[in-house]
Chain A
Amino acid sequence: MDVCPSSRTDWNDMQARIEIVGSEIHMAGEWTISGLADLEGKLAELPLSGATSVMAQDIEAMDTAGAWLFHRTLQGHGLGIAGLKPGHAALVEMIASLDLAEKTEPQSRGVLEKMGVAGWQLLSQLEDMLAFIGEVAIALVHAAANPGRIRWKPIWHNLQHAGFDALPIAGLLSFLMGIVIAYQGAEQLARYGANIFVVNLVGLSMLRELGPLLTAIIIAGRSGSAFTAQISTMKVTEEIDAMSTIGISPMEQLILPKIIALLIALPLLTVYADIMGVLGGMIMASFDLGVSYTDFIDRFGSSIRLSAFLVGVGKAPVFAAIIAVVGCFQGFRVEGSADSVGRQTTKSVVQSIFLVIVADAIFSVIFSLVQL
Chain B
Amino acid sequence: MSEAILEISDLCTSFGNAVIHDHISLEIMRGEVFAIAGSSGCGKSTLLREIMLLQKPISGSIRVFGKEVLGLGDMEALDFRKGCGMMFERGALFSSLNVLENVGLPLQEHTLLSQDLIEEIAAIKIALAGLPASAKFKYPGELSGGMRKRAALARALALDPELLFLDEPTAGLDPLSASGFDELVLHLKRSLELTMVIVTHDLDLLWHVADRVAFLGDGHVLGVGTMMELSESSHPLIREYFYGPRGRAAREQAWKQKSTTR
Q: Could you tell me which A residues sit within 8 Å of B by CB distance?
A: 1, 3, 5-6, 8-9, 11, 32-34, 36-37, 40, 63-65, 68-69, 72, 87, 90-91, 94-95, 98-103, 105-106, 335-340
Q: Cβ of B65 and Cβ of A9 under 8 Å apart?
A: yes
Q: Return B158 CB to nearest CB of chain A, in Å.
A: 9
Bound Cα distance from A102 to B100, whole angstroms: 12
Bound Cα distance from A336 to B79, whole angstroms: 34
Q: Cβ of B65 and Cβ of A94 under 8 Å apart?
A: no
B241 interface contact, C-beta 8 A = no
20 chain-A/chain-B pairs, Cβ below 8 angstroms: A1-B193, A5-B5, A5-B30, A8-B65, A8-B162, A11-B82, A32-B160, A36-B117, A63-B160, A64-B157, A64-B192, A65-B124, A68-B121, A68-B124, A94-B191, A100-B133, A102-B133, A103-B136, A337-B139, A337-B141
Binary flags per residue of B109-144, CB closer than 8 Å to A gives 1, else 0: 001111001001101110110000110110111000
Bound Cα distance from A76 to B118, whole angstroms: 21
User: In the complex, which residues 73-99 of chain B have their Cβ closer than 8 Å to any Cβ of chain A?
Assistant: 79-80, 82-83, 95-96
B159 interface contact, C-beta 8 A = yes
B37 interface contact, C-beta 8 A = no
Q: Cβ of B79 and Cβ of A3 under 8 Å apart?
A: no
B41 interface contact, C-beta 8 A = no
Bound Cα distance from A134 to B133, whole angstroms: 44
Bound Cα distance from A340 to B140, whole angstroms: 12
Q: Which of B66, B95, B160, B192 contacts A5 (CB 8 A)?
A: B66
- What are the residues of chain A within 8 A of B112 when measuring CB–CB? 37
Bound Cα distance from A90 to B141, whole angstroms: 36
B206 interface contact, C-beta 8 A = no
Top 6 nearest A-B pairs by Cβ distance? A337-B95, A37-B112, A63-B160, A5-B65, A336-B141, A98-B127
- Using CB atoms, name the residue of chain A closest to B123: A100
Q: Could you tell me which B residues sit within 8 Å of A by CB distance?
A: 3, 5, 30, 65-67, 79-80, 82-83, 95-96, 107, 111-114, 117, 120-121, 123-125, 127-128, 133-134, 136-137, 139-141, 157, 159-160, 162, 191-193
Known: A11-B82, A337-B140. 8 other contacts (CB 8 A): A5-B65, A8-B83, A8-B162, A33-B159, A40-B113, A64-B125, A98-B128, A340-B95
Known interface pairs A5-B66, A8-B162. Does A337 touch B124 (Cβ–Cβ under 8 Å)? no
Q: Cβ of B139 and Cβ of A68 under 8 Å apart?
A: no
- What are the residues of chain A within 8 A of B3 when measuring CB–CB? 5
Q: Cβ of A37 and Cβ of B111 under 8 Å apart?
A: yes
- Using CB atoms, name the residue of chain B closest to A343: B96
- What are the residues of chain B within 8 A of A101 when measuring CB–CB? 133
Q: Return B197 CB to nearest CB of chain A, in Å.
A: 15
Of B125, B137, B140, B141, most A-chain CB atoms within 10 Å: B141
- What are the residues of chain A within 8 A of B121 when measuring CB–CB? 33, 64-65, 68
Q: Cβ of A99 and Cβ of B160 under 8 Å apart?
A: no
Q: Which of A69, A99, A106 contacts B137 (CB 8 A)?
A: A106
- What are the residues of chain B within 8 A of A68 when measuring CB–CB? 120-121, 124
- Using CB atoms, name the residue of chain B closest to A342: B96
Q: Cβ of A105 and Cβ of B65 under 8 Å apart?
A: no
Q: Return A81 CB to nearest CB of chain B, in Å.
A: 19
Known interface pairs A11-B79, A339-B95. Does A33 touch B162 (Cβ–Cβ under 8 Å)? no
Bound Cα distance from A34 to B83, whole angstroms: 11
Q: Return B144 CB to nearest CB of chain A, in Å.
A: 13
- What are the residues of chain B within 8 A of A64 when measuring CB–CB? 121, 124-125, 128, 157, 160, 192
Bound Cα distance from A9 to B163, whole angstroms: 13
Bound Cα distance from A339 to B208, whole angstroms: 38
Q: Return B172 CB to nearest CB of chain A, in Å.
A: 14
Q: Return A339 CB to nearest CB of chain B, in Å.
A: 4
Bound Cα distance from A64 to B107, whole angstroms: 13
Q: Return A11 CB to nearest CB of chain B, in Å.
A: 7
Q: Cβ of A6 and Cβ of B160 under 8 Å apart?
A: no
Bound Cα distance from A36 to B114, whole angstroms: 10
- What are the residues of chain B within 8 A of A3 when measuring CB–CB? 162
Bound Cα distance from A99 to B123, whole angstroms: 10
- Using CB atoms, name the residue of chain B closest to A335: B141
Bound Cα distance from A102 to B160, whole angstroms: 22
- What are the residues of chain A within 8 A of B141 when measuring CB–CB? 335-337
Bound Cα distance from A33 to B112, whole angstroms: 10
Q: Cβ of B133 and Cβ of A6 under 8 Å apart?
A: no
Q: Cβ of B133 and Cβ of A33 under 8 Å apart?
A: no
Q: Cβ of A90 and Cβ of B191 under 8 Å apart?
A: yes
